[in-house]
Amino acid sequence: AQARWDEVFRGGRGMPEDMDEAHLSAAAEIRDLLLRLNMVKSRGEAKRLIQQNGVRLNEQKVNSPQATITLDMLPAVLQVGKRQFVRLVRADGERD
């Protein structure tokens, strides 16, 4: 537990090894995906977080609320704030 705390809270940008995984079967708009994964409470909150640089995809800031994640971008890591991480993978299990 102490090692996990150090990794997430002291490490700054460290990604946890044991993050949740979400399976995508089609392209999705990032703000809709955030809502579907319960990372935000509304599309408005998702839009605000994106505009305030609080959402990252593979450690790159998401700049547009209309940004879309396509299947060819997977696997990927979606991050909200400093502490919420989800690994996105293809639902069919294929990896490029």
The answer to whether residue 14 is domain-embedded is no
AA identity, residue 76: A
pLDDT bracket for residue 9 (50, 70, 90):
low
The answer to whether residue 78 is domain-embedded is yes
What residue numbers bound the domain in which 68 lies?
Answer: 19-90
Nearest residue to 74 via CA among 60, 91, 55: 91
CATH number at residue 69: 3.10.290.10
The answer to whether residue 85 is domain-embedded is yes
The answer to whether residue 58 is domain-embedded is yes
The answer to whether residue 8 is domain-embedded is no
In the chain, the number of structural domains is 1
The answer to whether residue 1 is domain-embedded is no
Which strands sit side by side in the sheet containing 60-61, from one edge to the other? 20-24, 84-90, 76-80, 55-57, 60-61
Q: What is the pTM of this model?
A: 0.78
The answer to whether residue 12 is domain-embedded is no
The answer to whether residue 27 is domain-embedded is yes
Tell me: the pLDDT tens digits for 26-54? 999 999 999 999 999 999 999 999 999 99
Q: Which residue has the higher pLDDT, 38 or 17?
A: 38
In the predicted model, what is the mean pLDDT of residues 82-92? 91
What is the pLDDT at residue 96? 47
